[in-house]
Structure 1
Amino acid sequence: MPVPARSTVAEVPASHRPRGGRGKPILAGIAFFVALAILLSLGTWQVQRLHWKDRLLAEMAERRAAPPASLADIEALAARGEDIEYRPVTVSGVFANNRERHFFATWRGQTGYYVYTPLQLADGRFLFVNRGFVPFEAKEPEMRKQGQLTGEQSVTGLARARLAEKPSSIVPDNDVAKNIFYWKDLDVMASSTGIPADKLVPFFVDAGDALNPKGLPIGAVTQFDLPNNHLQYAVTWYGLAAALVGVALYALFRRKGDRPTA
């Protein structure tokens, strides 16, 4: 019988076979630790944000409960670089109703404007007061004549800091010609009404509801419901990190189980 021809290709011992396959587990391990570090850092960042937001809300509540300060006290705080946001204040002066500015706003599901009216103080300076909300159809002063207060007025409200710049690129530019503001540019609000910079108090006041309790503008429109979803975000990032670890362990044990047991 003919003898079968032997193969001329010599078998390579397992110990001499290429080991390029080891690179894949190393790369996978590096990717795992990088992804895990990112997820854990995002979760930790959200926890830090949660603590910051809790402190901020507590400070806001504490300030709102404090007795009203004088305008001079608030100005002294601002001059020292301290935070004046939501600090109660009482001021007196005469409203310059012919210089009011209109800020586009949504209040309790209704769209309209906040009316910012300069209050002329005894020293001749002007303080912009957010008198409250009016619907679209009441934008013009002649539609709410009862709310055009004259004579000396005492205003109790909350101090609000000015904005250094437009808060976001998605916020529209202010339409000064139509007297519609989309962000509170105090300098432009003043200059567009002829108020010089040296006669301007460098912050706002949100008025309470005592000025015109039954008419327009509707006062006490300051919103305090700041979103605080950082705990939910932290749980999400940490949960993804735990899921990643679970997938990695499953893949590792499955790889060990697939190895031959010669």
Structure 2
Amino acid sequence: MQQRSILIPGLAALVAFAILIGLGTWQLARLHWKEALIATVQQRVAEPPAALPPLAEWKNLDLSEWEYRPVTLKGRFWYDREAYVYTLLSDPKGKLEGPGYWVMTPLQIDGGGNVIVNRGFIPLDHPEMKVAQTNGEVEIRGLLRGPEERNMFTPDDFPAKSLFYARDAAAISAGMSFDAAPFTIDALETPPGGLPQAGETRMSFPNRHWEYALTWYGLAASLVAVMAGLLWSRRRRAAS
């Protein structure tokens, strides 16, 4: 009877121990991934700007190899198809921060094709500020970005109001009725007038995976200690 009484909690503890160790190991894997990501971003943003790949290569462009690379491109902004992506800008490089929008404007590239340029940030609480518009051909220097991932908490877009909730070229171009490259460009230079506030690409990433791993491993160790104490207590009572 005594062995049977300890069997169920023992099996439950074993399952819980395996889960806790698995979570800790997963956090270590995330740690290595995050460290590699940070190193890659730091290396790529320091590279000299390259010319944007031609239109024929856009469809099959390996975004994992081009993400965060500085590029240059020339064309004319298509302001009639400009869209806004809601964001919360924290730790800004410029003077403006908080809730606001990324100003996403397609650039009609010389030689064909459209690329959506994230021209920068505008705040929600400054509606009187006017966003700069440049007529004629412009040359943009920026960082190539893949689409921003959505999750279950991402609101639905409102294309009729030119409002989106993810920096996703496919969703924006479909909602605004034009064709575009499967990537966007984060502009690095703010236009005269101060808006949109460019150069706000996030270069730092939270990295607390080591702390999380220690937490899970610590809980696993605590579980072992609890079960060891329970077994010792029961054996002591049985022997008395």
Q: TM-score, normalised by structure 1?
A: 0.80
Q: Compared with structure 1, are the counterparts of its residues 59 and 185 closer, same or farther at alpha carbon in structure 2 (3 Å cutoff)?
A: closer
- Structure 1 vs Structure 2 CA RMSD: 2.3
Q: Which residue of 1 aligns with 2:77?
A: 95
How far 1:117 moved relative to its partner?
0.8
Q: Does 1:203 align with 2:183?
A: yes
Is the CA contact 2:159–2:176 (under 8 Å) kept in the aligned structure 1?
no
Q: Does 1:245 align with 2:219?
A: no
Is the CA contact 2:59–2:181 (under 8 Å) kept in the aligned structure 1?
no
Q: Compared with structure 1, are the counterparts of its residues 111 and 28 closer, same or farther at alpha carbon in structure 2 (3 Å cutoff)?
A: closer
- Match runs of 1:103-252 below 5 Å: 103-108=85-90, 109-136=97-124, 143-144=129-130, 147-162=132-147, 167-195=150-178, 197=179, 200-209=180-189, 211-212=190-191, 214-252=193-231
Distance 1:158 1:167 in 2: 21
CA displacement, residues 126-148 of structure 1 (integer Å, 9 cap, x when unaligned)? 110000011225569xx526x11
Q: Compared with structure 1, are the counterparts of its residues 172 and 217 closer, same or farther at alpha carbon in structure 2 (3 Å cutoff)?
A: same
Amino acid at match of 2:81: R
Is the CA contact 2:121–2:196 (under 8 Å) kept in the aligned structure 1?
yes
Distance 1:169 1:119 in 2: 31
Is the CA contact 1:133–1:217 (under 8 Å) kept in the aligned structure 2?
yes
How far 1:214 moved relative to its partner?
4.7
Q: Does 1:40 align with 2:21?
A: yes
Is the CA contact 1:131–1:206 (under 8 Å) kept in the aligned structure 2?
yes
Q: TM-score, normalised by structure 2?
A: 0.87
Aligned-partner SS, 1:33: helix
Moved over 4 A (4+): 73-78, 137-140
Distance 2:155 2:217 in 1: 37
Q: Does 1:66 align with 2:51?
A: no
Is the CA contact 1:213–1:219 (under 8 Å) kept in the aligned structure 2?
no
Aligned-partner SS, 1:106: strand
Q: Which residue of 2 aligns with 1:16?
A: none
Tell me which structure has the larger Cα radius of gyration. Answer: 1
CA displacement, residues 27-52 of structure 1 (integer Å, 9 cap, x when unaligned)? 23222222211111111111111111
Q: Compared with structure 1, are the counterparts of its residues 236 and 167 closer, same or farther at alpha carbon in structure 2 (3 Å cutoff)?
A: same
Does 1 or 2 have the higher relative contact order (CA < 8 Å, sep 6+)?
Answer: 2
Counterpart of 1:254 (choices 222, 233, 238) is 233
Q: Compared with structure 1, are the counterparts of its residues 37 and 255 closer, same or farther at alpha carbon in structure 2 (3 Å cutoff)?
A: same
Is the CA contact 1:138–1:144 (under 8 Å) kept in the aligned structure 2?
no
Give % identity: 39
Q: Compared with structure 1, are the counterparts of its residues 138 and 193 closer, same or farther at alpha carbon in structure 2 (3 Å cutoff)?
A: farther
Amino acid at match of 1:189: I
Which stretch of structure 1 is more off in the superposition, 247-256 or 148-157? 247-256
Q: Does 1:50 align with 2:31?
A: yes
Q: Which residue of 2 aligns with 1:14?
A: none
